[in-house]
Amino acid sequence: MTIDNSQIILYFFALIILFLTPGPVWVALIARTVSGGAKSSISLALGVSLGDMLWPFAVYFSLGLLISIYSNILLIFRYFASFVLVLMGLHIIYSRNKLLSEDHRLTKSGFVAGFYAGFIAVTANPKASLFYMTLLPGFFNFELIGLVDVFLISVLSFSVPMIGNILMILFVAKIRSLLSSPNAISLTNLISGILLVLVGISISIF
């Protein structure tokens, strides 16, 4: 193993920041918990975490090599992801009065449906792709690390969002009746949309 404890600790805190940034996964978790309760959201959380677990392998086997050859792709992808995040935020603000339960892809009952919704939510999530494909190579030297290192990174990538998602599910379940009101949904969407726009702008600036 070539990665050291300081790298692991920094990456751990980066994963926490990634989790705390609003995005499609938050919307999916809230929607499914409000519509079906805490138990119906566990499969979605599992799908999300397994998707997060696969990202480091994707970077290691594909984009890591591409970045080492074409370093400018980082800058291009950074601005593209920033643009997408701003668009997502504006869309959430525009559609803030839409009930979360109206998206049947997120709230469809069944373990497989929940797992699929979670997996798609994270693999198609620009926030996650931006983090893993542009920032992950900054934490670890992909020219030196091996499969054991990537496996450890993947375990961290699975564990942090899984724990965070379960805590969020339990919290949302306790205030489920409040979140299901139109005013609460509108306010939640408005705040999430504004935060997404700010995150997208900050990514393009810093």
- pLDDT, one tens digit per residue, over 80-126 is 766 766 777 787 788 766 654 445 555 566 677 778 777 877 777 66
Q: Residue 77's pLDDT band (boundaries 50, 70, 90)?
A: low
Look-up: residue for tokens 């809230």? 30
Q: Residue 72's pLDDT band (boundaries 50, 70, 90)?
A: low
CA distance 110 to 10: 37
Judged by average pLDDT, the poorest of 36-45, 86-95, 172-181 is 172-181
Q: Residue 64's pLDDT band (boundaries 50, 70, 90)?
A: low
If you count them, how many residues does the chain have? 206
Which carries the bigger pLDDT value, residue 149 or residue 189? 149
pLDDT of residue 146: 81
pTM of full prediction above 0.75: no
Which carries the bigger pLDDT value, residue 102 or residue 47? 47
* Continuous H helices in 59-146: 64-69, 73-94, 104-107, 111-123, 126-130, 136-139
Q: Of 98-102, 175-179, 187-191, which has the strongest mean pLDDT? A: 187-191
CA distance 36 to 43: 12
CA distance 146 to 156: 16
pLDDT of residue 155: 92
* Spacing of C-alpha 67 from chain mean position: 22
Residue spans of beta strands (DSSP E) within the chain: none
Structural domain boundaries in the chain: 24-205
Distances (CA, A) of 161 to 21, 60, 61, 166, 194: 12, 20, 23, 8, 22
Q: Of 31-35, 135-139, 164-168, which has the strongest mean pLDDT? A: 164-168
Q: Residue 43's pLDDT band (boundaries 50, 70, 90)?
A: confident
SS3 181: coil
Burial class (CB in 10 A: 0-12, 13-18, 19+), 169: buried
Q: Which amino acid is at 13?
A: F
Task: State pLDDT tens for residues 141-165.
Answer: 766 778 888 899 999 999 998 999 8
